[in-house]
Amino acid sequence: MSRTARDEAQLDDTATFGALVGVDRLRRVGPFAVTAVASLVWAVPLTTWARPWNAVGGSGGAVVAVVAALVAPWERMPRRAQLGPPVLFLAAMLVLLSAAGVGDLSPYLTLTVLPLAWLAIYESRMALLVTAGLAGPTLWFLMPTGATQGSTHPSTSIVVFVICSAGVGTALNNLVVEDRRLTARLRADRAAVEQAALTLDAIPEQVSRYRVRDHTIVYHNASWAAQHGIDAGGAVGELLDDHLSDDEMRGLRHQLGVLNAAMPILEDPTERATHGATDQWFQWIDRFIPGDDDEILSIGRDVTDRHHAETALAASEARYRDLAEKSADVVWHFSLEPTPHFDYMSPSVERILGYSPSYFLDDFDRMLEILDEASTTAILRAITENECSITSTSGSDTPTARSSSARLAPRSCVVGCKA
């Protein structure tokens, strides 16, 4: 577990189980304990005690509070029991303050900040306010005539003590509470990211994320890792360029030249041969992610089967075109999109109909103009009903076909021939 994640878990456990529970209790208690012990070791011998027995009781209470915080099995006790050490230490300081009889000049008044700070950081706001509120009357009760040596206005000192303790403690408690809220939100966001990562690892598409600045990989899913023969997460921190084929690098440069905040999503129209595989093809779509360090999220889909099918289709069309070029019949290829038009007409049309192929390629209506009514109707039916046969007899000076056929081919095209 990283240090950040460990600290988040500890802060969350502290809010739930208390600061005196867990493997890091000494790290939390230590600074308070060392400060308290060092201050008391310095202050107690130099204090002239007006009430010696109060001094003994206060010192003993402080020792018990510190030792209990360090060694008591708090995980076996109720959560509220952890209020004992800071409240006991605060009471001990108030007793020592009354024993010294020097009022607001006493170092023990300063030491009351320690338990109040502990309550502000690790306990609830209510516990802090109640404790600070009770500390003032307790101090007044222990010194009913005021502090004769250090203050001419003891009541004023007590009021200021309560107000400052409650105010500063509340401010500190607010910071801690907000920190805990942010930590909880961060942990929830991290859990959501982890769930998203599990989902991405389960899909067959290859997913990677890299920095635009230097092409450093910051994430990749299991499918991407398997394709490149590495362990899950094994390429994080490496350069994406080292894992791409030359064809994929050309695609990368093309995409980066277009992607930006104004055009955040872009599909590479070209199928790319992948790195480290024989005859395997991918098509990529990229998303631009703006930030302090811009990143690109890439998703690749295996289109090898489609690539092979398109290659085979192109070869078949080439063979078809070669056959059509040599045919004595008129062979055409008709497309319905974006508007009805011939996109191929065999050279034999000039011998049979007396017009060059370009004449009909430029304007589909020219074919309809030279055909008789039956042939025209048949062709239009072929467009709308997918297939038909035409049989007509030349009875005029207009060149017509003796017989013809037409059918709707894939991709909304009509292929026909005229005999």
- What is the number of residues in the chain? 419
- Return d(Cα 364, Cα 352) in angstroms, integer: 17
Instruction: Cite the DSSP H helix spans in 297-336.
Output: 304-326
316: its two tokens:
């078949």
CATH topology of domain 204-302: Beta-Lactamase (3.30.450)
Residue 6: closest CA among 190, 235, 195? 190
Whole-number pLDDT of residue 348: 84
Read off the pLDDT of residues 138-162 as tens digits, 9 standing for 90 and up. 777 766 454 444 444 556 656 666 6
**Distance in Å from the first CA to the final CA of the chain:** 79
Which residues make beta-bridge pairs with 265?
287
Domain parsing of the chain, residue ranges: 3-193, 204-302, 308-418
- Return d(Cα 355, Cα 362) in angstroms, integer: 12
Q: Are residues 398 and 372 in contact, defined by beta-carbon separation less than 8 angstroms? A: yes
Number of Cα atoms under 13 Å in the Cβ half of residue 213: 6
Contacts for 1 with CB less than 8 Å, ≥ 6 apart: 9
- Number of Cβ within a 10 Å radius of residue 3: 7
Whole-number pLDDT of residue 391: 38
Which residues make beta-bridge pairs with 418?
330, 404
Write out the DSSP string of 77-115.
S-GGGGGHHHHHHHHHHHHHHHHHT-GGG-HHHHHTHHH
- Return d(Cα 219, Cα 238) in angstroms, integer: 10
50: its two tokens:
């007006």
Select 308-418's CATH number: 3.30.70.100, 3.40.640.10, 3.30.465.10, 3.30.450.20: 3.30.450.20
Number of Cα atoms under 13 Å in the Cβ half of residue 218: 14
- Return d(Cα 286, Cα 219) in angstroms, integer: 14
Q: Are residues 24 and 16 in contact, defined by beta-carbon separation less than 8 angstroms? A: no
Whole-number pLDDT of residue 22: 79
Type of residue numbered 377: T
**Rounded to 5°, angle at Cα 352 from 348 and 358:** 55
Q: Which residues of the chain have pLDDT under 50?
A: 1-3, 8-9, 11, 144, 146-152, 387-415, 417-419
- Return d(Cα 43, Cα 111) in angstroms, integer: 10
Write out the DSSP string of 15-74.
HHH-TTSSTTHHHHHHHHHHHHHHHHHHHTTT---SSHHHHHHHHHHHHHHHHHHHHS-G
- Return d(Cα 159, Cα 133) in angstroms, integer: 10
- Return d(Cα 383, Cα 328) in angstroms, integer: 24
Confirm whether pTM is higher than 0.85.
no
Whole-number pLDDT of residue 96: 86
Residue 268: closest CA among 294, 291, 287? 287
Give whole-number Cα distances, 387 to 313, 324, 346, 382, in Å. 22, 20, 20, 5
Whole-number pLDDT of residue 389: 41
Type of residue numbered 315: A
Print burial letters for 91-108: b (CB count within 10 Å at least 16), e (below 16): bbbbbbbbbbbbbbebbb
Q: Where are the beta strands (DSSP E) in 253-402?
A: 265-267, 272-273, 281-289, 295-302, 330-335, 341-345, 387-391
Q: Are residues 284 and 300 in contact, defined by beta-carbon separation less than 8 angstroms? A: yes
Print burial letters for 38-58: b (CB count within 10 Å at least 16), e (below 16): ebbeebbeebeebbeebbebb
